[in-house]
Amino acid sequence: MAEKAKHTEIKGFVKGTLHCNCPDEVFADIDLRKNPYVSSYLPYSTRLLVGQRLLIYIVNLPDAASLPSLLPSMIGAGKRERDEKGLNRFRAVIVTPTKEDLEPIATELFDAISGRDDRIHLHVIDKKLVPDL
C-alpha cells in the first residue's frame, strides 16, 4: 500500500505542481532514485524518470549561494541524460523555502545557459508544495 501511495504522490506532484500534461499511462513506470552520489555530473538529490519519457532532477537549495555553479551543471547533466536515453523532456526542480528570493535569480541564470532547448524546463518550488519523495 505504501508503494501505491508514493505513486499517487509522484503523479500528483508531476501533473499538479509541475503542470505536466503526460498521459496517465506513462505513470505506470516510475523510477525514483533518492540521494545518489552527488557530483558535478549528477547535481541532484532526487531523480525521477516517468514512463521512459520525462526526466526530473530535484535539488533542495536553502539559498542562492550555490545556484550559479549548480544550475548550469544540473541543466547540462539532465540534457545529456535526456538525449542519451532518447527521452522527451527534462525538468530541473529547485526546492527552496525562499522561492520569492531565489526564483528571479534562477530564472536569469537559466535563461543565460547556452544549449538549452524547448524540452528543458526550470521549476522553482516552495518546499511546502513538494511531497516527501
Q: Taking a C-beta distance cutoff of 8 angstroms, is the pair 74, 90 a contact?
A: no
Arithmetic mean of pLDDT over the chain: 87
Residue 63 pLDDT: 82
Is it the case that residue 42 has pLDDT exceeding 60? no
pLDDT at 1: 38
Cell numbers linked to 45: 538529490
pLDDT per residue over 18-40, tens digit each? 999 888 898 999 998 886 655 55
Q: Where are the domains of the chain?
A: 2-129
**What does the H/E/C string look like for the chain?**
CHHHHHHHHHHHHHHHHCCCCCCHHHHHCEEEEECCCCCCCCCCCEEEEECCCEEEEEEECCCCCCHHHHHHHHHHHHHHHHHHHCCCEEEEEEEECCHHHHHHHHHHHHHHCCCCCCCEEEEEEEHHHCCCC
Cell of 88: 522527451
Span 6-20, average pLDDT: 90
- Count of C-beta atoms within a 10 Å radius of residue 120: 18
